[in-house]
Structure 1
Amino acid sequence: MSGGAPVLPDELQGRGTLVEHLGIIFLEASGTRVVAQMPVESRVHQPMGLLHGGASVALAETVASVGAYLNVCARGMVAVGLEINANHLRGVTSGTVTATGTPIFQGRTTEVWSIELVDERGKPVCVSRCTLAVIPAPQGGQSG
């Protein structure tokens, strides 16, 4: 779904946030699946020139948060991160990583998402699991 109209409403595009700073773009987004890409370049490198694990985790949590939000927003709720873990499997120095997130559990007050990051060859880079709390939406609030 790339190249066409945005797959997210304007308020979730991340303008002026870490999402924009990291260059994250959404290719697909629903309450049951989110796919996003992030360029691997100097702004997301660690000092050795590899993709920083923190940037991978930021991408993973972004994917999970957006998916959980899209699942609960019709109920006047938002999703906020409670816990995230990640296993970094392969170094990446350039190109693009793609994150695909799917829910493991979607409850009334908690969601758990599995996120897999792959490089341009489809090789696994990072696997992550993110637990989110589902809370009432603050005035003007989104996921986070």
Structure 2
Amino acid sequence: MSALRPDVTIEVLHERQRGMLPELLGVRLVELAQGMLTGELAIRPQLLAPNGFLHAATVVGLADTCCGYACIAHLPEHAPNFTTLELKSNFLGTCRDGTIRAVATAVHLGRSTHIWDASVFDQSGRTIALFRCTQMLLAK
């Protein structure tokens, strides 16, 4: 099982996202620990769909970013990077304002793949989405 890397911190991951999609979305990481990562973003009008509800891509962007950063933080020495093989989302609800939070948890931390799940919650704690992704670890 891959262990949390001491050289990958929340600050390192925030620096890594400068000028990239996670920064544009407003992803803010709040907790990083063995086998998990929590992030959040404040909903603003630009992140809504034309129907006035939270755009599905916003939810996926937060969940995928949290899972991806968690993967980075748990990469083994022989694999300095990764790429996504597959992702899936189930939407259980939506919201229009406030802050959403994603909690990514490790399902499988293997030598060549990682599988991460994320649950996305609205600010009242109600689950609005379930997300799963498979990451292929890229060897040196």
Please confirm whether the aligned pair reaches a TM-score higher than 0.5, indicating the same fold. Answer: yes
1:95 partner letter? G
| CA deviations over 1:59-106 (Å, ceiling 9, x no partner) | 111111111111115445212211110011111100000000001011
**Aligned counterpart in structure 1 of residue 124 of structure 2, from 117, 121, 124:** 121
Q: Is residue 26 from structure 1 mapped to residue 29 from structure 2 by the alignment?
A: yes
Match of 2:94, SS state, is: coil
| Structure 2, unpaired ranges of 5+ | 1-8
State the partner residue of 2:83: 80
CA RMSD across the alignment? 1.7
CA contact (8 A) 1:86 1:128 kept: yes
Q: Does residue 95 in structure 1 map to residue 98 in structure 2?
A: yes
Q: Output the amino acid matched with 1:43.
A: Q
- Report what 1:67 is aligned to: 70
Cα 1:78–1:66 shift into 2, 3 Å: same
- Deviation >6 Å, runs of 4+: none
Distance in 1 between residues matched to 2:104 and 2:35, nearest whole Å: 8
Stretches of structure 1 that go unaligned for 5 or more consecutive residues are: 1-5, 138-144
Q: SS in structure 2 opposite 1:117?
A: strand
Residue identity (%): 24
CA drift of 1:32 comes to: 1.1
1:11-49 CA deviation, whole Å, 9 max, x = no partner?
754110111100000001245110000111112111011
Number of equivalent positions: 132
Query: Secondary structure at the residue paired with 2:10?
Result: coil
Q: Does 1:133 align with 2:131?
A: no
Query: Cα offset for 1:10?
Result: 5.6
Whether contact under 8 Å (1:102, 1:113) holds in the other structure is yes
Question: Does the 8 Å contact 2:67/2:133 carry over to 1?
Answer: yes
With over 3 angstroms needed to count, the CA separation of the structure-2 counterparts of 1:128 and 1:95, relative to structure 1, is same
Instruction: Indicate the larger mover: 126-135 or 72-81.
Output: 72-81
* Counterpart Cα distance in 2 of 1:11 and 1:97: 18
The structure-2 alpha-carbon separation of the partners of 1:106 and 1:24, relative to structure 1 and needing over 3 Å to count, comes to same
TM-superposition CA deviations, 1:94-124 (whole Å, max 9, x none): 0000000001011111000010000110000
